[in-house]
Chain A
Amino acid sequence: MEYEYHWSIVFDKMPELLSAAFVTLHVSILSMLLGIIIAVFLALGKMSELKILNYLSGIWIEIARNTPALFQIYMGYFGLGALGIHLSPYVAVLSALVFINSGYLAETFRGGFQSIAKTQYSASKSLGMTKFQVYRYIILPQMFRKIHHPMTNQFVWAILMSSLGILVGMGELSGETQRLQSLSFRTLEFFTVAAVMYYIITKFVLITADQISKRLFKGDI
């Protein structure tokens, strides 16, 4: 069957699409930043001696890791709505992404932290380093070397999963594409352009992360 492509309609809407792409980018960056902060606490909680902290962070981490992202977003948008807490689509998507990111990152952090041999603490202590110096110069650089790759993957995942905003009417790249295509019914053209934009965004993030890691760990990865 013949299908006539009308790309000009899409290109007319390019400013809207680009600003929506920035919404995608900033919701995923924000979800990573908040996710990292919470993940540090969750990882500390999971490693702490206190049973109750251990238990609570365990629950958070396992729920985040074992339920679909779409479920989390519905929970934030429809589920909390039933309790009288009405979140905007933006907040619902952001909080779902933060919830899941922190669960995955907590496990990443814990793995990275535990992979560093205990003898290194004693060794650096015996060299006369303070606790702060041990972490600053010995533990954290090694840990970051191990976790930067999973962290980049998590960031890409957050970008891709923010596309679920389409289902709750959020104005990020997918949601905006959906709205624009419904005005003109050029579904194929609009979503093709959106796919290309997602590809460019994730490639950009991956290449940037790669460059940063090359600068930071000259040669020895």
Chain B
Amino acid sequence: MNSLFTPLSWNDTGFILTGILNTIYISVVAISIGTFLGVIVGFARVESNKYTNMLIGSFLDILRSVPLIIQLILFTTYIGVMGYPLNPFIAGSIVLSLYTMAFMSEVFRGGFESVHQSMRTASRSLGLTYWQTVRYIRLPIGIKVVFPSWLGVALSVIKDSALVSVIGYMELLRTSEQLISRTQQPLEILIGVGIFYFIISYPLSLYGKYVERQMTV
């Protein structure tokens, strides 16, 4: 036994730490790009006519109704077949960002729609141009309103980032999986992984609830 499997030791800390950092890294990238694109697409959906809206909507619909894991596999296979293989981090970021965008755009669309027409009319009558209204009135108000939902989507992206392991990105769950196959101590390692996700996600979800309460009162 001993010759085959070596138990968990302090030397593995670095390896686990890489996994943790990679998880945080890809989540931050996907949430940032996804939010940025989500604001743009959400705004475009509010402003565009019925047909453009339907076109954008049906594309987002596909991103939302196909499992992330299938999207990841399809994308990496497709770019591989086309002759432009990307490394797992970039491929994973692209898919995860687009997936995030699909959810974020819905969140922000709701926010922009909540800015009342009379407010736009009021700001236009004060002499603001269209883009000034967008820049100083509609974007700030619309984005602020949806903060709790934004946080909810961001948290689910952190959890979904675990799936990028299927295309070979060394995030937390994949490093733990490799440690498990070496040490044969699945329970200890997995509980540690669970605690990590929990201590990131739980305080943020509490904060989201707190902000939501502050807003409604």
B163 within 8 A of A: yes
What's the Cα separation between A205 and B41 when bound, in Å? 26
The interface bits of chain A over 75-104 (1 if a CB of B lies within 8 angstroms of the residue's CB, else 0) are 100110111000000000000000000000
Which of the 9-residue segments A37-45, A46-54, A62-70 touches chain B?
A62-70
Q: Are B186 and A78 in contact (CB under 8 A)?
A: yes
A residues in contact with B69, CB < 8 Å: 163-164, 166-167, 174
Residue in B closest to A178 when the chains form the complex, CB atoms: B73
A residues in contact with B160, CB < 8 Å: 68
Q: Are A66 and B68 in contact (CB under 8 A)?
A: no
Q: Are A188 and B74 in contact (CB under 8 A)?
A: yes
What's the Cα separation between A199 and B58 when bound, in Å? 11
Residue in A closest to B65 when the chains form the complex, CB atoms: A202
Q: Are A188 and B62 in contact (CB under 8 A)?
A: no
B residues in contact with A132, CB < 8 Å: none
The B26-76 residues at the A interface (CB cut-off 8 A) are 62, 65-71, 73-74
Q: Given contacts A71-B197, A160-B67, is CB(A79)–CB(B73) below 8 Å?
A: no
Range for the number of chain B residues in contact with chain A = 35 or more
Q: Are B185 and A82 in contact (CB under 8 A)?
A: yes
A194 within 8 A of B: yes
B120 within 8 A of A: no
What's the Cα separation between A198 and B73 when bound, in Å? 14
B210 within 8 A of A: no
A156 within 8 A of B: yes
The interface bits of chain B over 183-201 (1 if a CB of A lies within 8 angstroms of the residue's CB, else 0) are 0011100110110011001
Of the listed residues A63, A81, A160, the one surrounded by the most CB atoms of chain B closer than 10 A to its CB is A160
Of the residues A3, A66, A68, A174, contact of B162 by C-beta under 8 Å: A68
Q: Are B70 and A70 in contact (CB under 8 A)?
A: no
Q: Given contacts A68-B173, A69-B159, A79-B187, is CB(A1)–CB(B65) below 8 Å?
A: no
Q: A-side interface residues toward B, CB under 8 Å? A: 1, 3, 62-63, 65-71, 74-75, 78-79, 81-83, 156, 160-161, 163-164, 166-167, 174, 187-188, 191-192, 194-195, 198-199, 202-203
